[in-house]
Amino acid sequence: MIENGSVDISEGDTPRYDIDSNTLTISGGATEAEIVHESTHILINATHKGKTIRRGDHETAAYLAAALWALYSKNEIAVDVPHMDVQVRRLAKTVMAFNSANPSGAFCCDPGDCQYIQALMQSSANGTDINERREQRGLSLCEN
């Protein structure tokens, strides 16, 4: 997606994906976990065109994806929200156990786990507006 120009890239110290401009802002020093996190936002946008998704759900998926990447690649789980690492690690390990037992199944996160993670986001210094709703715009790559 990114390599073929479907997502614009901008240089910046704070990694983020802007759905309106379809721009990934990232620095050359970005960590792999940051790239996984932001790429998850891009993937959700690409695969859910026309759907309205809460920011809290978007962020939970991105943090979970980065935690799964960390556990599978034997890296540390690095999150910018205090105490969230414990929660996303526990959820990621639950996903990994499910995937081991159900290679072709779809895991549904417990809503309570997501609510807890989102409460941490909302009450953190980041002050994430978890209830902000955004329509996913898709990528031109995905239009047929």
Interface residues with Zn ion (CB under 5 A) are: 59, 62
Dihedral pair phi/psi, residue 122, rounded to 5°? -65, -35
Identity of the residue, 59 or 85, whose beta carbon is nearer to Zn ion in the bound complex:
59
Cα–Cα dist 31/60, whole Å: 18
Distance in Å, CB of 104 to Zn ion, minimum: 28
Identity of the residue, 19 or 71, whose beta carbon is nearer to Zn ion in the bound complex:
19
Distance in Å, CB of 36 to Zn ion, minimum: 11
Report the residue number whose CB is nearest to Zn ion.
Answer: 62
Identity of the residue, 60 or 139, whose beta carbon is nearer to Zn ion in the bound complex:
60
Distance in Å, CB of 55 to Zn ion, minimum: 8
